[in-house]
Amino acid sequence: MTRLLLINPNTNAATTSMMRAIAQAAAPGGTVIDAMSAPYGVPLITNEEALAQSAKAVQALAGTIATTPPDGVIISAFGDPGLAALRLRLACPVTGIAEAGMAEAGSGRRPFAVVTTTPDLVDSITALAHAYGHGATMRGVALTEGDVHAVMADQATLVEALAKACAHAIETLGAKALVIGGGPLGQAAQSLNLRFPVPVIAPIPAAVRLAQKRIARGF
């Protein structure tokens, strides 16, 4: 049996449960997904300050994780907060959902865009794309319209807002693939894939796939 641990870098237990269920559904047979939330921080990461705080909260979990080490860890926030620090402290592969989603979207140097709800994180998302080697292929970040909290308060509203941003990314940015930028957007991401003529990557299943590959090849 393979055990993956999904870490939600925010404090919202309902979001943690939702993301764990998505990861479990994407995992192959014989894989168990456990999950834990950040021990402190915010219920939704919407700006650079919250992202930095969530990175510290993820790092604080390292000792607890090491006592019952999983086969792999997934960091399920799109800024991949705390990823580098956990890699230094854990003897298993640590995979970020942004890392995995961008890798799939940009496969074969395909031009892609990130679609998300958080304007205050555009700079960090762009910097992360460059850090992961996608500077030449990431065409930009397409944003939903309106206040992020209002958009995310209703699932149907969120899906349609993301769909509109996806269309913009294809038509205006020239994206040939899209990655939905956010762990809490996981359910919405899954509902968008068949609505567009380009692949729409849901980052949580992408992270499960990448984590499994790393485990299979010994990282």
Banded model confidence at residue 196, pLDDT cuts 50, 70, 90? very high
Q: In what order do the strands lie in the sheet with 138-143?
A: 138-143, 112-116, 177-180, 200-201
Q: What angle do CA 206, 129, 48 make, to 5 degrees?
A: 100
Q: Two tokens at 161?
A: 């807002």
91-149 residue pLDDT tens:
999 999 999 999 999 999 999 999 999 999 999 999 999 999 999 999 999 999 999 99
Residues 6+ apart with CB under 8 A from 32: 1, 2, 3, 4, 24
Q: Two tokens at 129?
A: 């794309």
Q: How many whole angstroms separate alpha carbon 175 and alpha carbon 152?
A: 24
Residue 193: the pLDDT is 84
**CA atoms within 13 A of residue 167's CA, in its CB half-sphere:** 7
Rg (CA), the chain: 16
Residue 219: the pLDDT is 83
Residue 205: the pLDDT is 97
Banded model confidence at residue 29, pLDDT cuts 50, 70, 90? very high
Q: How many whole angstroms separate alpha carbon 70 and alpha carbon 42?
A: 25
Banded model confidence at residue 199, pLDDT cuts 50, 70, 90? very high
Q: How many whole angstroms separate alpha carbon 15 and alpha carbon 21?
A: 10
State the helix-helix crossing angle for 203-216 and 13-26, rounded to 10 degrees: 60
Average pLDDT along the chain: 96
Residue 129: the pLDDT is 98
Domains of the chain: 2-96+205-216 (3.40.50.12500), 99-203 (3.40.50.12500)
162-195 residue pLDDT tens:
999 999 999 999 999 999 999 999 999 988 988 9
Nearest to 144 by CA among 126, 112, 169: 169
Residue 194: the pLDDT is 86
Q: Provide, rounded to the nearest whole percent, the portion of the chain with pLDDT above 70.
A: 100
Pairing of strands 31-37, 112-116: unpaired
